[in-house]
Amino acid sequence: MTSIHLASSNQAKVAEITLGARLWVEQTRGDSPWNFELLPGMDRLPTCIEDGDSFAANAEKKTLHYSRFCDGPVLADDSGIEVDALGGAPGVYSARYAGPQAEDAENNAKLLEQMRGVCAAKRTARFVCELALARQGQLLARFRGVAEGILLEAPRGTGGFGYDPLFFDPEINRGFAELAPEGKLQRSHRGKALRALLEWLRANRTSIYSP
């Protein structure tokens, strides 16, 4: 079994990717020679400055940076929410919208304040996830997932993380924070990007083993 190291300090993202990989194996009735785990000693490695102008740029920058400290493949995620009425903000600043050390509740509160008084028809938004896979400083592939929805006027639900309490999926008439983890992965941006990655891995098994 090959370890794919996750270059992330966000435990919630790591848990989603691990769960998503297990669910994909069960649903496709396939096998998975890959084990997703945290990059060893990541907290002691030089930090990657995420100053890209897009989720894709940041994901690629992170995976290229951290894969230089590891023999095996490294997967990086950059994701967030884009609100149309705010010109796509918070975008790449989603994790630090209310400040460099902001927590989810603070980011959510700022976004709600920015959207105060905006009518339902103009509260369209989307979650975007970019996954980038690299090995020893060489980019192998990149995958994108998007989930379209509406920004709620107040938090709803107790599950999820990040902006999930504010994100409503009109196709299933539920908010992301109202879904069980398995259900959210079927609809979410990260779930879509992860399934694309896993399909690619199945079709390119030898690629990630090559030096």
Residue 208 lies in a domain: no
Give residue 31's pLDDT: 67
Q: 164 lies in which domain range?
A: 2-203
Q: Answer yes or no: 78 catalytic.
A: yes
On whether residue 210 sits in a domain, the answer given is: no
Burial of residue 79 (CB within 10 Å: 0-12, 13-18, 19+) is: buried
CATH number of the CATH domain containing 71: 3.90.950.10
Mean per-residue pLDDT, 151-165: 97
Is residue 60 domain-resident? Answer: yes
Query: How far, in Å, CA of 124 to CA of 41, rounded?
Result: 40
The number of distinct structural domains making up the chain is 1
On whether residue 181 sits in a domain, the answer given is yes
Q: Which of 31, 43, 78, 104 is catalytic?
A: 78
Helix (H) or strand (E) holding 110: helix 104-114
pLDDT band at 180 (very low <50, low <70, confident <90, very high): very high
pLDDT tens digits for range 21-49: 989 888 887 666 678 999 988 889 999 99
Query: Per the domain annotation, does 209 fall within a domain?
Result: no
